[in-house]
Every structure is written in C-alpha cells, then in structure tokens.
C-alpha cells in the first residue's frame, strides 16, 4: 500500500474481490476495505462486504465512466476504496482508473482472476491459453483465434455469452469444438455447463460466466490464418478485390505492427484493412470507400472475418481523409490518379510511416513512376499466372500485372 504524504489527497485503492466474497480476501485486502471512508462498487460487490464494515457504500451509476473519472472530486478528503471483480488490472476497473487518474494515485490489491481460476479448474496452462474478451463487444472478435487445437477462454458480459460463442463456432465450421461454461468461479455456487458447440443446450447460464473452448474443426472446414493472404472466396466482393497473391506482397510492404493504424484508401472489399487488423488484436484500420454498396460490403466482411472494429468511411479521397486519426501506414488501392490523393496520404504520415500504392493501368503506373522519381522507395511489377485448362492440356492464364510503389517517409 502506498504511504500518504502529509497534505496530499489520499490515493484511491482498488481491491479485487471474487465470488467467494469476504472469505476469499487476503488480510491486506480486508484491511484496505475496513479502513475505507467510502466504498464504491456494483450493488452485487458492495453486498459481499459484511455489515461490520462501516464505510459509506455508494453504487456506481450507469453509465459509470464519468463517475469513475471524478471519484476523487466526488469524495474530497475521504479514503475511497473501489471494489473490482477478480484482478482489477485484467480487463477491469483498475485499468480504467489508472488511465483516468494516473498510476501515482491508484493503489491496487489484486485477487485471482477468472482466467487463473478457470485454468486451474480445467488443468490448462495459462501461457498456452488465449484469452478473448467480448464484454460489451461483438462476439465476432473471436474469429481470428478459432483455429484447430487452440484453447480459448472467452470473457462474456451476460448469461447468453456461452450460447453466442457456440452459435458462432457452428457458423464458422467448428461445431465439434468442446465448450465449457464456468460460472461463479471460486464461490459457493460455482457451476459448470459442458457440451459441444453444435449441441449446446444452454440458452442462458449465469451472469458471472466464462466460456472455455477447445477448438475442433468440422470435416471439410478450411482454417483461416492470421497471416496475410486469405483465399479470395473468404470475401464478399464485386470484383474490386486485391487478389490473394498481390495482397500478400502488399501487406508485407505495409508491415503491420501491433498498435498501429492503417488507412485503406479505395478499399473495395476491405481485404487489406481486414488482414492488417487480423495480424494482431491491437492493429487498427480505417477503410475509405466512395461506393456505398462496397462500403456496406466492407462492414460485412470485417464482421465475418473477426475484425468488426474496422472503421468504414463512406466518401471520396482526399476529402474523406480530413479529420481522420493520423495513420502509421497508408494503402491506396484505387484512385491513385485522383488529384491530391497521394499527396494527402504522404503528408498525413509521420516519419517512418509507409505508403504503398497499387496500379494496374498505364495512367496510374505513370503516377507511380513520377512518385518513385521524386520520393525514391521501391517500384516493382508483379505478374501472377494461374494454371488453367487449354483444350485437353493445362496452360498458364496470366492476370493483369500490378505495379506496386512503396515508400517510407523520411
């Protein structure tokens, strides 16, 4: 516990508490709660503290965010203890408080997380288990992690989360996966529900539930990797699609890195932005598309392929780029000849930012040649041919060659 300096406001203390309530708390956690002037938490959490604790109990309003940020101003000069479920720094309120107030004024007393408890019950190694949170977020975020043999723990937000996970597994061709819903972990009412995704019988389980998945592919299912180069038929499109082989080369030059933001300008079916985001959960992308039907299609592709947070901007570049968050990389797949587009993209990049532009017409190739002469970078021409029937034999059917210019801003 942080020592208080004379004259300085008392820190906010965050105490993790499990379904086992007061009995499961450490002596340090109990002392923090017993010394509080004010207890903040959900009604359920506040109810876990015995009546012998005399602190004022104040439940969080909904929405909670503004009250969280103002917790010190709301209780000036008083010792505030915030109750959190499990480990406060694991997708929890502790993280939100540190972001809002700063680490220097927040003390954290953790409890065992639901992930730790679930792995203990299942006999799974924590470091070999992937954790995905869909609390308040689309269950489609699970999609990039669903590959054969993988073990997943899914943090849900309500009683229907396990059923929603099972439904998506069936839709993606993984109905044979083994699903276990673990409820009230560590508490006296701990329960488990088990079955396969295809035969999941529990429409609802418990508000405090975690879903464990051992991923098993159905016969004939084709796993989709998180590396670039998904099959073309993974996308709904109208022909405006960066094809698989070209897409792989393009993304290699864009160099997706965790936490970075891509602009996909003239996005077509959205494949570049989608595969950028599938590389790592923290990768972000904005798809800019002028055609309304294509813009809608990008959203559907993004949801189905597990990146529903991809932002789709319906508009024409360069005007549609105004006000967007600054990118770390930009891909221009269409509209390279439009006045001002490449300059706007280049100007938006920071030092070290990457711009990659693909061209298939003579006019757009001329633009890239001029850009290469002015900015340097790499200029390559990619030709792809596919084996196809020629009478009773097999020959090569070439696709249109693609010219790729890539540059790094100095």
pLDDT tens for each residue of 24-40: 999 999 999 999 999 99
Same fold, 12-112 and 115-214: no
Please give the structure tokens belonging to residue 200.
Answer: 């999941």
Q: What is the enclosing helix (H) or strand (E) of 158?
A: none
Residue 221 has pLDDT above 50, yes or no: yes
Alpha-carbon span 46 to 314, nearest angstrom: 46
CA 15, 69, 66: angle at the middle one, nearest 5?
115
* pLDDT above 90 (res 332): yes
8 or 403: which leads in pLDDT: 403
pLDDT of residue 7: 45
For the chain, give every domain's residue range: 12-112, 115-214, 232-408
CATH class of the domain at 115-214: alpha beta
Nearest of 109, 98, 114 to residue 36 by alpha carbon: 109
- The secondary element (H helix, E strand) that includes residue 116 is helix 114-122
Query: How far is it, in rounded angstroms, from Cα 219 to Cα 215?
Result: 13
**Model confidence band, residue 91 (pLDDT cutoffs 50, 70, 90):** confident
Number of residues written out for the chain: 410
CATH architecture of the domain covering 232-408: 3-Layer(aba) Sandwich (3.40)
Contact at 8 Å (CB) between 123 and 112? no
Query: Alpha-carbon distance 168 to 174, whole Å?
Result: 8
1-10, 69-78, 84-93, 248-257: lowest mean pLDDT where? 1-10
DSSP 341-393: HHHHHHHHPPTT-EEEEEE-SHHHHHHHHHHHHHH--EEEEE--EEEEEETTE
Spatial contact of 198 and 176, defined as CB atoms under 8 Å apart: yes
Q: Model confidence at 334, in pLDDT bands (50, 70, 90)?
A: confident
Q: Token pair of 347, please?
A: 């100007």
For domain 12-112, say whether CATH 3.40.50.1220 is its number.
Answer: no
CB distance 193 to 165 below 8 Å:
no
**Sign, CA torsion 220/224/228/230:** positive
Average pLDDT of the residues of the chain: 95
pLDDT for 152-181, tens place per residue? 999 998 899 999 999 999 999 999 999 999
Q: What is the pLDDT of residue 2?
A: 54
Q: What digits encode the pLDDT tens for the residues 93-148?
A: 999 999 999 999 999 999 999 999 999 999 999 999 999 999 889 999 999 999 99
The whole-number pLDDT of residue 11 equals 85
pLDDT band at 252 (very low <50, low <70, confident <90, very high): very high
For the residues of 239-287, what is the DSSP string, one character each? S----HHHHHHHHHHH---TT-EEEEES-TT-HHHHHHHHT-TT-EEEE
**In what side-by-side order are the strands of the sheet with 284-289?**
311-314, 284-289, 261-265, 329-332, 354-359, 402-408, 378-382
Of the chain, the percentage scoring pLDDT greater than 70 comes to 98
Inter-axis angle of helices 341-348 and 362-375, nearest 10: 40
Decide if 30 contacts 50 (C-beta within 8 A).
Answer: no
Q: What is the mean pLDDT of residues 208-216?
A: 96
Q: What DSSP character marks residue 319? A: G
């Amino acid at each position: 516990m942080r020592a208080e300096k004379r004259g300085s406001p008392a820190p906010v203390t965050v105490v993790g508490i499990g379904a086992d309530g007061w009995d499961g708390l450490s002596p340090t956690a109990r002392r923090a709660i017993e010394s509080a002037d004010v207890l903040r938490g959900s009604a359920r959490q506040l109810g876990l503290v015995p009546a012998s604790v005399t602190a004022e109990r104040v439940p969080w309003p909904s929405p909670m965010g503004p009250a969280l940020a103002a917790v010190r101003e709301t209780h000036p000069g008083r010792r505030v203890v915030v109750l959190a479920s499990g480990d406060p720094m694991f997708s929890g309120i502790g993280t939100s408080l540190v972001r809002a107030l700063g680490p220097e004024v927040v003390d954290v007393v953790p409890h065992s997380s639901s992930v730790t408890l679930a792995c203990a019950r299942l006999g799974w190694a924590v470091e070999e288990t992937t954790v995905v949170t869909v609390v308040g977020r689309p269950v489609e975020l699970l999609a990039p992690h669903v590959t054969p043999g993988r073990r997943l723990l899914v943090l849900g937000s309500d009683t229907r989360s396990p059923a929603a996970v099972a439904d998506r597994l069936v839709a993606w061709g993984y109905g044979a996966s083994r699903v276990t819903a673990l409820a009230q972990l560590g508490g006296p009412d701990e329960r488990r529900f088990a079955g396969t995704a295809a035969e999941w019988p529990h429409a609802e389980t418990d508000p405090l539930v975690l879903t464990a998945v051992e991923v098993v592919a159905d016969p004939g299912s084709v796993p989709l990797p998180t590396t670039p180069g998904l099959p073309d038929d993974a996308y709904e499109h109208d022909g405006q699609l960066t094809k698989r082989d070209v897409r792989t080369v393009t993304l290699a030059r864009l160099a997706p890195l965790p936490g970075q933001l891509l602009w996909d300008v003239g996005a077509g079916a959205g494949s570049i932005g989608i595969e950028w985001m599938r590389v790592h959960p923290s990768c972000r992308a904005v798809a800019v598309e002028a055609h309304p039907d294509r813009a809608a299609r990008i959203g559907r592709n993004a949801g189905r392929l597990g990146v529903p947070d991809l932002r789709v901007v319906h508009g024409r570049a360069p005007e549609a780029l105004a006000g967007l968050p600054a990118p770390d990389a930009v891909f221009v797949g269409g509209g390279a000849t439009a006045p001002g587009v490449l300059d706007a993209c280049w100007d938006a990049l920071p030092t070290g930012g990457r711009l990659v532009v693909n061209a298939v017409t003579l006019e757009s190739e001329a633009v890239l040649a001029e850009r290469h002469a002015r900015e340097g970078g790499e200029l390559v021409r990619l030709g792809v041919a596919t084996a196809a029937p020629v009478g009773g034999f097999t020959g090569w059917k070439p696709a249109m060659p693609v010219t790729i210019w890539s540059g790094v801003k100095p």
